[in-house]
Amino acid sequence: MIEILDCQGRRKSTAELTGDRRTPTPYYSAGVTIASRAAQSNSITADAEASMPKTPTSSPASPEDVALAIRDFDASLDLLDQAAAAAFGIGRTDLRAMEIVSRSGPRTAGEIAAELNLTTGAVTALIDRMEKADYLRRSRNTSDRRQVVIELTPNAKRREQRVFGPLGKESAAMLRRLSGAERAVIADFLRAVREMTERARKGIEAGA
């Protein structure tokens, strides 16, 4: 789910994503970021590539059009996370924890707790649940055997491919159809939006 102010200055609640008021809303949905990882290890199918439009079909958009499109995209990401969590048989905060490890590699329990804004006890219970579900596991850091890190299990990686592989392939096919300059515009826009939403989040937290 994307935190963003629309053209009328409205902002969606972070609780809509996780049901946990302590958990900050991520810039990308867990589903999309896991799908991005899946795309890196999947080739593009002919069917997926053929389904992508070869030329732009939209007319010039106003700032309001873009703001509304982002809100629509926001809503679709929320539904994607809901469906993905149901497919994995876990809660949405648990899915977010899985996404963090999938995106960044092995992390300590403290790092996961900090990113999810969870207490030590809450993140311990989360990791215990995910170990029982065979999605996360505790292991020793290869560079510092004294440190315990959390990593994905082989089962989690297989499930990622099954759930998010099609989306990853289609996303990669769509991006391949764009020119390098077009992809640069998109990347710059997403970075700018993320910086904007981070400033908004910090401002809201500071005033709470």
User: Does the residue 166 lie in any domain?
Assistant: yes
The answer to whether residue 65 sits within a structural domain is yes
Q: Is residue 10 part of a domain?
A: no
Is the residue at 7 inside a domain?
Answer: no
For residue 184 the two structure tokens come to 């640069």
Q: Is the residue at 2 inside a domain?
A: no
Domain that holds residue 23: 15-207
Low-confidence ranges of the chain (pLDDT < 70): 1-58, 208
**Are 11 and 200 in contact, with CB atoms under 8 Å apart?**
yes
pLDDT at residue 52, as a whole number: 52
Residue 178 belongs to a domain with what CATH number? 1.10.10.10
Residue 4 covered by a domain: no
Q: What pLDDT score does 35 carry?
A: 57
Total domain count, the chain? 1
pLDDT digits (tens, 9 = 90+) for 57-107: 567 889 999 999 989 998 999 999 999 999 999 999 999 999 999 999 999
**3-state class (DSSP) for residue 159:** helix
Q: For 102-171, give the DSSP string.
A: HHH-SB-HHHHHHHHT--HHHHHHHHHHHHHTTSEEEEEETTEEEEEEEEE-HHHHHHHHHHHHHHHHHH
The confidence score (pLDDT) of residue 47 equals 54
**pLDDT reported for residue 74:** 86
CA distance 14 to 34: 20
